[in-house]
Amino acid sequence: MYALWFEALLTEVSPGSRVIEVGAGPALFARHARRCRPDLAWVATDLAPAPGNDVVADAHVLPFRDGSADAVVGLDVLHHLARPRAFFAEAARVLRPGGRLALVEPWVTPLSFAVYRFFHQEDCARPADPWEPFAAAGGKDLFDGNAAIPRAIVRAAGAEEWRRMALSPPRLDLLNGFAYVLTLGFRERSLLPMRALPAALWVDRALAPLAPLAAMRARLVWRREGGGKTA
- Write out the residue range of the structural domain in which residue 139 sits: 2-223
Residue 188: the pLDDT is: 79
Residue 227: the pLDDT is: 60
Residue 120: the pLDDT is: 87
**What is the pTM for the complete model shown?**
0.94
- Say if residues 67 and 59 touch (Cβ distance below 8 Å): no
Is residue 178 assigned to a domain?
Answer: yes
Is residue 62 assigned to a domain?
Answer: yes
Nearest to 79 by CA among 112, 49, 106: 106
Q: How confident is the model at residue 119 (pLDDT cuts 50, 70, 90)?
A: confident
The tens digit of pLDDT for each residue in 50-88 reads 999 999 999 999 999 999 999 999 999 999 999 999 999
Is residue 231 assigned to a domain?
Answer: no
d(CA 99, CA 58): 20
Residue 140: the pLDDT is: 86
Is residue 196 assigned to a domain?
Answer: yes
Domain total of the chain: 1
Residue 230: the pLDDT is: 45
Is residue 229 assigned to a domain?
Answer: no
- Orientation angle between helical segments 28-36 and 2-10, nearest 10 degrees: 60
Is residue 228 assigned to a domain?
Answer: no
73: Cβ contacts below 8 Å, ≥ 6 apart:
9, 12, 13, 19, 20, 21, 22, 29, 101, 102, 103
The tens digit of pLDDT for each residue in 160-200 reads 999 999 999 999 999 999 898 998 877 778 888 989 999 99
Q: In this model, does residue 228 exceed pLDDT 50? A: no
CATH number at residue 166: 3.40.50.150
Residue 12: the pLDDT is: 98
How many beta carbons lie within 10 A of that of residue 156, not counting itself? 12
Q: How confident is the model at residue 24 (pLDDT cuts 50, 70, 90)?
A: very high
Is residue 88 assigned to a domain?
Answer: yes
Is residue 230 assigned to a domain?
Answer: no
